[in-house]
């Protein structure tokens, strides 16, 4: 399934400028410094560390369950942390799953494409700014104003394509 939802990672809606190009958001941060960032709150750092350790998207409630032993008790705490991480370019929201992944591509300029495996749930980040800009230009020619952008690709990852059918549930 190829899904085009055009949005900019939790920032103000992206608009099509006079050249019909999507504005670029703030670049994603590099992995080594993400959880060490002194500007992150304790809750943001804990949420980011969990997202970074996982290769699959996590919902806010999965994050909350994992953070309960550290004293996080309420969903708003997790949602606030996720909102700030997305706005800072440190995480991405997967609209179709209502889940989140850590940014894995350092320094890309804004919206990304996410390839999501339907078997194991792994999400791979693809820097596709040129594709998103091209879509923005094409849509702009129709007079439509783009406000948000994301591309979600669904299919099978390389591991799941080569794994025997009975082993799929073991991943």
Architecture category of domain 2-170 in CATH: Orthogonal Bundle (1.10)
Phi, psi torsion values for 131, nearest 5 degrees = -65, -45
Evaluate if pTM is beyond 0.95: no
Would you place residue 157 in the very low, low, confident or very high pLDDT band (cuts 50, 70, 90)?
A: very high
What is the rounded average pLDDT of the residues 35-59?
87
> 148 pLDDT exceeds 90?
no
pLDDT for position 39: 85
Phi, psi torsion values for 42, nearest 5 degrees = -60, -45
Indicate the domain borders of the chain: 2-170
């Amino acid at each position: 399934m190829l899904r085009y939802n055009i949005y900019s990672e939790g920032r103000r809606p992206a608009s099509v400028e006079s050249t019909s190009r999507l504005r670029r958001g703030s670049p994603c941060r590099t992995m080594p410094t993400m959880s060490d960032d002194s500007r992150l709150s304790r809750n943001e750092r804990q949420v980011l560390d969990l997202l970074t350790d996982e290769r699959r998207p996590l919902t806010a409630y999965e994050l909350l369950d994992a953070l309960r032993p550290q004293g996080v008790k309420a969903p708003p705490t997790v949602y606030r942390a996720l909102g700030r991480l997305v706005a800072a370019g440190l995480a991405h929201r997967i609209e179709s799953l209502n889940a989140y992944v850590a940014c894995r591509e350092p320094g890309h300029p804004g919206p990304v494409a996410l390839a999501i495996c339907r078997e194991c749930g792994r999400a791979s980040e693809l820097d596709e700014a040129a594709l998103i800009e091209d879509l923005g230009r094409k849509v702009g020619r129709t007079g439509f104003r783009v406000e948000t952008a994301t591309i979600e690709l669904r299919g099978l990852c390389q591991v799941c394509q080569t794994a025997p059918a009975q082993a799929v549930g073991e991943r």
